[in-house]
Homo-oligomer: A and B are copies of this chain.
Amino acid sequence: MYRYPVTSRILLAIDCIIFGFDGKDIKLLLVKRNLEPEMGKWSLMGGFLREDEDLEVGAGRIIFYLTGLKNIYVEQLETFGKVNRDPAERTVSVVFFALIQIDEHDSEAVRNHNASWISLDQRPELIFDHNEMVGRAIEHLRYKAALHPIGFELLPELFTIPQLQKLYEAIYNTPLDRRNFSRKLLSTGLLIDTGSKNSNSTTKKATLYKLDTIRYKEKFHAFWNFMPDSMKPVKI
């Protein structure tokens, strides 16, 4: 078979930014790196692309390996390829962005990989250009969550409106008006009232909703505007 007459072939990495939400803070799944260079330092979970796998398959493999989860929300974020981004050798990294329901992950797998869930505002310095990757991912989360109903991916199947509000408040780091939030949300027609109530509350129990998955697909691209003006992304 024909092969291109080009000498330089490059190592292709995949790094995954995995967001979760614990009901209070947005968290990031970070690992202590187990290979040289920079062994022992904090980094994103990553790996090398295999010869026989598509990019998304590689990302799925890495996420499954770390969390035990399949069929979660994953999208490609951006590819980082500065010449010296990795001191060992030229490596180009395709970064993926994943949202998971934090209580469904396999905590043993996470522990075995030296990984931890860390709040965004407490995240340590990361290796290479991983800090930049995380910055872009947070920006993307804010941007996307303002326009599309992706917040649900971070919550359990049954959730309450106050839970969802806390999620958006965490994403934009700003308080939102309860009444307006609730009204706007219900007006999307994406929520189904399950009739039951949240039992683990010490005060008035909130109504549990689930996502109307059919309408969800139809309305995925209907633009929202939950993003407060002051929080609109600032950098390209």
Of B6, B51, B81, B234, the residue contacting A90 (CB under 8 A) is B51
> Of B79, B80, B88, B234, which contacts A4 at CB under 8 A?
B88
Shortest CB-to-CB span from A152 to chain B, Å, is 15
- A79 near B82 with CB under 8 A, answer no
Residues of B close to A37: CB separation below 8 A: 2
A-B contacts, 9 listed (Cβ < 8 Å): A2-B36, A2-B37, A4-B88, A9-B12, A12-B92, A49-B81, A55-B79, A76-B78, A92-B94
Is A222 at the interface (CB under 8 A from chain B)? yes
How many monomers of this chain does the complex have? 2
Ranked nearest first, the 4 interchain pairs of A and B with the lowest CB-CB distance are A55-B81, A9-B9, A8-B51, A79-B79
Main secondary structure of the interface of A (DSSP, over half): loop
Q: Which residues of B contact A3 (CB under 8 A)?
A: 88-89
**B94 & A81 in contact (Cβ 8 Å cutoff):** yes
Q: Does A214 contact B (CB under 8 A)?
A: no
A35 to B87, CA, bound (A): 34
